[in-house]
Amino acid sequence: MSTSPALSVLDLVPVRTGQTSAQALTSSIALAKAADDLGFRRYWFAEHHNMPAVASTSPPVLIAAAATQTSRIRVGSGGVMLPNHAPLIVAEQFAALEALAPGRIDLGLGRAPGSDPVITQLLRRTGTTSEAQQFPDHVQEIIRLMDAAGESIRFTSGGTYDVHATPEADGSPTVWLLGSSDFSAQLAAQLGLPYVFANHFAGDGVERAMGLYRQQYQPSERHPAPVSFLTANVVVAPTQDEAEERALPQLRQFARLRSNKPMRKIETVDEVRANPSDALEDSLMQQNRQRWFVGEPAKVADELRAFAEKHGVDEVMISASSGAYDHEPLDETPARIQTLELLAGAMAEGSAASPATTRPA
């Protein structure tokens, strides 16, 4: 049996029917604490905007909250959508987070806007989505601004100024590039940075992207060898039937997104059962289901081991996509915690090294 990969968590802070943002955030912080207790390697918050079913609009705020409620796990962004933000602001926010939780902060950077062009213009009033073209320069600017050795950006405008993200850094976050295309893989290789392929929503192209990253990798001082992992949608329950049921709400949400239907809060399992999907939704749900890891603990653990081995990674970041039943509390997330607990246990049983004993990257 192959060695179990380390486990991490990607959280979009899902919002279900009847749930407030406060309740969704409360449940996600509880999930972060559970991941910390269970020995998961890292916990990342995504950035999305103007979506009824997603409350992860501000990764730095959520990272700060999670950092104060955890003690060991790395916390970070998966990712900050850089076209939405001025590089100096990103550098300042994550330098502050590094000071708050030294040695535990990851800065995952993405090139997509995380929403539509209108929202992007609201976030960056001086620009549009075309600012994604400046992504490589902005990534390098952020790294220099956060550099603990004192490197800075020299800015000239009526005078010369040295600009630092924070007055006296004694460490800096680990910067990761995120993507689902060749561009980010090749840029990460060129800059000698860790890379994450967003397999949870873009299952095609993973082999090519990971191959390009490894073949073209240029060693850097901080990362002499390529460092990468993959994301995956995972639902684990005591029985296959329960796992399949709990996967339904998120599967239908993905189908609505892919078919350009109006977005709404995530339905409960009961709501999906009471309102059958149309033919297009059914087809899209079946296609997505083939790429998800859904089932009993031992089965999913085996599938994730094979997945990690196939793609040559020692870590898998799971999006715990377990839906809720109507009767379950709004300020808790028992199904997502169940996925983490059952999966961590199955991984530990099947390998000599559990996630807690694997050295963090």
In terms of DSSP bridges, do strands 6-11 and 315-320 run parallel, antiparallel, or are they unpaired? parallel
Instruction: Give the separation between CA 189 and CA 177, rounded to whole angstroms.
Output: 10
**Residue range 310-322, pLDDT digits in tens:** 999 999 999 999 9
**The predicted structure's pLDDT at residue 151:** 55
The label of the residue with tokens 């976050």 reads 173
Q: Range of 195's domain? A: 6-243+292-357
Please indicate, yes or no, if residue 257 is contained in any of the structural domains.
Answer: no
Closest C-alpha to 350, from 293, 296, 298, 295: 298
Please indicate, yes or no, if residue 305 is contained in any of the structural domains.
Answer: yes
Please indicate, yes or no, if residue 102 is contained in any of the structural domains.
Answer: yes
pTM for this one?
Answer: 0.92
Total tally of structural domains belonging to the chain: 1
- Number of other residues whose CB lies within 10 A of the CB of residue 151: 12
**The predicted structure's pLDDT at residue 339:** 98
- CATH number of the structural domain spanning residue 143: 3.20.20.30
Burial per residue of 68-80, b for 16 or more beta-carbon CB atoms within 10 angstroms, e otherwise: eebeebbbbbbbb
Please indicate, yes or no, if residue 260 is contained in any of the structural domains.
Answer: no
What parts of the chain have a pLDDT lower than 50?
A: 1, 125-130, 352-360
Please indicate, yes or no, if residue 137 is contained in any of the structural domains.
Answer: yes
Please indicate, yes or no, if residue 253 is contained in any of the structural domains.
Answer: no
**The predicted structure's pLDDT at residue 32:** 98
How would you classify residue 50: left for phi > 0, otherwise alpha for psi between -120 and 50, otherwise beta?
left
Please indicate, yes or no, if residue 45 is contained in any of the structural domains.
Answer: yes
**The predicted structure's pLDDT at residue 353:** 43
Please indicate, yes or no, if residue 275 is contained in any of the structural domains.
Answer: no
